[in-house]
Structure 1
Amino acid sequence: MRAARDVFAERGYHAASIRDIAREAGLSLSALYYYYSGKQALLVALLEDTLADYQNSCEVALAAAGDDPAARLNAFVRATVEYRVRRQVDSLLALRETRNLEPDQLEGFVQRRDALPGLLQEIIEDGVACGLFATPYPDEAQRTVLAMCNAIAQWYQPSGDLTVTDLVDRYVHLSLTLVEYRLPGDR
């Protein structure tokens, strides 16, 4: 799978061949076919692994955050930013190559993937309902938070001046600003 990820990232799904992947993995073509029926099966396995890891990261963070919408938003953003940095190549593949899933694979994958924006939407709506978030645009806030977090995979350089901790802190701050977070005494 690591070889498939590297080949897909370098060449794109359509330009990659199963032979290229086998060579990168140090396997014979027949050995690769023993484990995966083809390039589509490798793409599905990669995307499913990526999604499962991201979902797990979010679930663990949210379970520790409790019921407070601000703490849950913080946890969701933190998990997303850390994930996008930790699995940067995988994140880019998921953003770019999902379109190459065959229709029977695409539908189920998209349903599982879209559950995460639904969790974020629920957090924001809960915050608005209890008066912690004052945004008049919860749908747009949810889309903006996700878009900015997802974009990290495109530009972040681990060797740059910005640490992951700084990045997380900034994105949590930006997210709380987007939802117009109000401290309990400021409502």
Structure 2
Amino acid sequence: MVTAEGSGARGRSGGRPESRRGAAPRRKLLMSEIVDQAMRLFAERGYDGTTLQDVADAVGLSRPNLYNYVKSKEELLVAMVEATAQSAANSLREVRQRTDLDPAGKLRLLVRTLVLQRAERPEQFRTLDRSDQALPPEIAKKHLESRRAVLGEIMAVLEEGVTAGLFRPIDVRVTALSIIGMGNWVAWWFHPSPAHPAEPVADQIADNAVAMVAREPGRTPDTPTPLGAVALLQQDLDYLTRLLTAEEGRRGPAGEG
């Protein structure tokens, strides 16, 4: 039905520019529907267990008409990578480059953005996560580059916060991976509904991420004076002492394994 309508529109318009302008949004919407249905089928049946005919049937197109949009399942995987990892990386980069937010504000918005993307389109993320080892080499490369870009954006904001004295001295890579893990896991356990929207969940996880790295309230000096630097150092030593004490407690007395 969609294809017949599109063919009729082309016939009536004779290829006029206004018709072509109207066709572009329709094509984009249908392509989005094709990708959504493919991801649903990949999640249900696996990538190898899904055919292009299955996708065509789910969208309501004939297989020849589907070829007007995608030529192979690999193209669908590319679209999925672009809609998940690459889209996330681009969104986070825009947040990181904002000049109206301090590092804590950036981190909060970064995490909120990531969580909402996972919550709104969980099947995309789950499908790619499950298929990661089976992706064709070129698609796997794109996926890895996008994941590294997401990691890099969060690490950059964490480093900015540490340098500004707003965040504790931390291993920014380990911390960024931990934060990404919190956001990614939403795609597996969260099921949005009118009574349980995604926004409060995203806000809570974003607040948790900031709390993970923020210095204790009232202990960050307002000006970088020598005494202020000493105060920051003392805070860091106190934090390190607590970590080492907790680690010794977990290990128990020497010689117990």
* Pick aligned residue for 1:22 from 56, 80, 97: 56
**Relative to structure 2, which stretch is displaced further, 116-125 or 56-65?**
56-65
Q: Residues 25-174 of structure 1 correspond to what in structure 2 (within 5 A)?
A: 25-63=59-97, 66-159=100-193, 162-174=196-208
Counterpart contact for 1:51–1:113, Cα < 8 Å: yes
Q: Structure 1: which amino acid aligns with 2:142? A: G
State yes or no: 1:186 paired with 2:229. Answer: no
SS in 2 for 1:16: coil
C-alpha spacing 1:137/1:53, structure 2 compared with 1 (3 Å) = closer
Query: Rg larger in 1 or in 2?
Result: 2
**Aligned partners of 2:69, 2:202: CA distance in 1, in Å?**
38
Aligned length: 186
Q: Structure 2: which amino acid aligns with 1:186? A: R
1:106-136, Cα deviation, whole Å (9 max, x unpaired): 2133213311110100111111122111143
SS in 2 for 1:157: coil
**Aligned partners of 2:196, 2:103: CA distance in 1, in Å?**
27
Percent sequence identity over aligned pairs: 29
**Aligned partners of 2:198, 2:92: CA distance in 1, in Å?**
17
1:38-82, Cα deviation, whole Å (9 max, x unpaired): 111111122212334323433444455635110110110111111
- Larger RCO (CA within 8 A; separation ≥ 6): 1
Counterpart contact for 2:42–2:127, Cα < 8 Å: yes
TM-score normalised by the chain length of structure 2: 0.65
By how many angstroms is 1:28 displaced?
Answer: 1.5
**Relative to structure 2, which stretch is displaced further, 45-54 or 69-78?**
45-54
1:128-176, Cα deviation, whole Å (9 max, x unpaired): 1221111433222111100011000100021386542321232122111
**Aligned partners of 1:69, 1:116: CA distance in 2, in Å?**
16
TM-score normalised by the chain length of structure 1: 0.86
